[in-house]
Structures are given as C-alpha cells and as structure tokens.
Amino acid sequence: MDIPPLKLAHFKQALKNENLRLTVQRRAILADVLGSDKHREIDEIYLSLKKAGIPVSRATIYRTLDILEQVDFVHKMDIGDGRFRYENNLTGDRGKGHRAHHDHMICDHCGKIIEFVDQEIERRQEKISAEHGFTLLRHSHQLYGLCSDCRYE
Amino acid sequence: MDIPPLKLAHFKQALKNENLRLTVQRRAILADVLGSDKHREIDEIYLSLKKAGIPVSRATIYRTLDILEQVDFVHKMDIGDGRFRYENNLTGDRGKGHRAHHDHMICDHCGKIIEFVDQEIERRQEKISAEHGFTLLRHSHQLYGLCSDCRYE
DNA sequence: CTTTCTGCAAATGTTTTGCATTCAA
DNA sequence: TTGAATGCAAAACATTTGCAGAAAG
C-alpha cells in the first residue's frame, strides 16, 4: 500500500501550501483511499489502518478526508444511507490528473456500487438548467435497484 | 387548510386497512403537507402546527410521515443536506391519482427547489441499467447550482 | 374497555469539536 | 522550539424508540 512518488510529492506540496504537516496518519489515509478502487466508508478506513498497526482515531480520518477533498484527491459521495463514502479521484500513477466524472448505480440487496457515465444525460442536464436560467455547478445522480448478481435472488 | 373530502376519505380507508386511528395530529400533518406546494421539513411542519395551536410532538410527525409515505400520499426526498423533505404526492382535489415523477434543481444560495422532468434522461437511465443487467427500481437525481434570481449576486 | 397514539426523554448513529498532549519541521 | 495534529471524550444533529399516560373506536 504505497503512494506513487508523484502523487506523494503533489500531496506534500498541497500541504505545504496550506501550512499543513505530513503525518503518519495523513499518509496512511491517503494511501488507503488511493489504493482502493472501492468507495470507502470512514469505518472501513479506520479498521483497515488499525489492523495495519497504524495509530489513528476516527476524528483524524474525518479531518484528513476533508483536506483530501479540498485538494481534490478524493471525492466525497452521498448515496443516501446516512454515511459518506470517499473514492479516489486521481488517475494512474503519473501526473496529477483527475478521474473523469461519473455517477453511480447502487444495488439495494448487496450494496455493490457500479459506476456509469452517459454523455447524453450530461448534455440534457445542461440544457434543462439553461432553460431555467439555472447555473449548473454540480449534480448528484444515483440509480437504485438490483444488480445482475442479485436480480433473481 | 382543509383536506379535500375525497382525499380525507381515502386516508381514513387506508388507516382502517392497517388498524390505525385517525387522530387530530395525523389529520393536521396530512393537511399541512397536502396544503403546501413546498418541500416541507419536519421542523417547518412542527412549528406550523404549533403556531396553529395543534398539540403535536416531533416524534409524532416522524411517525405520521412514515405512514403517509407508506400509503404514497407524500414523497420523502433527500437533497443531501442531512434533513429529509416531504412533498405532496397527490393530484388535484378529486380522486386518488399520484403526481407525476420529477427530479429537482436546488439553488445553493437561496435553497429554492425547482422541479424538472426529462423523458430522454428517464429513457437513458433505463437503457444504462439494462446494459448492466441492473433492475432499476428508483433513482435520485439533483442538479445543484444557482437559480436565476441568485445568479448574479 | 381495549388497543392504538402521543409526548417525553433517552437512545441512536454519524459527524464535529474543545482541549490537553504529542509531534513535525 | 513552536505551531500544528492527534486522540479522547463530549457535543451536535436529525431521527428513532421505550414506556406510561391519553384517547380513539
């Protein structure tokens, strides 16, 4: 669970810009979220770091994820079950690119989260907003139902 | 703020079917939500009933809105700010029809909620779901930004 | 009268915060 | 050394729940 050198450097710079410090906890939390292609919950991160022997508290995880969201390293998402999820928002190992925007399909039965994008939907959202004189800044779009594995259970 | 006779009758029947009783509180809460074209929060309902001199507690409002949601009289919505909103889900004054499905645009600045529907988006959601073998049961779709009144502030 | 409802206050579950202590630079 | 970060426990918030007394049918 290592942070690619370029991303780590980028993170150090971002911290320095805000007069923030690189701590064991911040490094571990970043590694956790970047190293997973999942949508992580606070408690998953907490338990995972504890198991790895890293001293950390939930408070620090919340505080660190706020910072990571500010600098766009992670994306904070709300699927409506009362807990936030955090997902890696950076591309591969090189450079500081951001992952492309996408929305989510969530299985009511097993909780699986599937990502999707549809350019036509993106366009229609812009069009609808324009028709109402609404300045669209962001959106939240989730599809709920049963994934293919749970469909016939 | 009266409940149209047909709707009241429908509500009484729905309650009877479940062995539930028609109380002053339930009648007042129903009247409140049906009588507003707004997206009501628990506290708005609570304060409004209190002001009208109706004895009620927040607990009862939560419990009653659960019932009203079960019987499809209201729609419970989550715009992601940590509080649920409830909106009237019935048509005019006659019959027991339901309002057409719609999604929402929310102004970050003044909180205004604008409803919208787009058949093409609805179709694409079905299409995307089918492509993933996903059984689509419902969705949540919000556009966030600035409404026309707040655009240049 | 019997059963369901209500209000209260306590419990819940997630996230936030105050503060003394520890640590990065 | 000194300002920032951490961990803890308490606070905040919206919502839920147990229970004794109130009320509907």
Strand D bases with any atom < 7 A from protein Cβ: 3-9, 13-18, 23-25
How far apart (Å, rounded) are the C-alpha atoms in residues B5 and B36? 17
Residues facing residue A107 across a β-bridge: A145
Q: What is the pLDDT of residues B100-130, one digit of tens each?
A: 999 999 999 999 999 999 999 999 999 999 9
Closest CA to A102 of A84, A114, A110, A111: A114
Contact A147 B133 (CB under 8 A): yes
Contact A144 B139 (CB under 8 A): yes
Query: pLDDT tens digits, chain A, 153 residues: what are they?
Result: 689 999 999 999 999 999 999 999 999 999 999 998 789 999 999 999 999 999 999 999 999 999 999 999 999 999 999 999 999 999 877 767 899 999 999 999 999 999 999 999 999 999 999 999 999 999 999 999 999 999 886
Tell me the CA–C1' distance in angstroms for A81 and C12: 15
How far apart (Å, rounded) are the C-alpha atoms in residues B16 and B8? 12
How far apart (Å, rounded) are the C-alpha atoms in residues B131 and A107? 15
- Is B23 near strand C, with its CB below 7 A from some atom of it? yes
Non-local CB neighbours of B5 within 8 Å, separated by 6+ positions:
none
Tell me the CA–C1' distance in angstroms for A19 and C12: 38
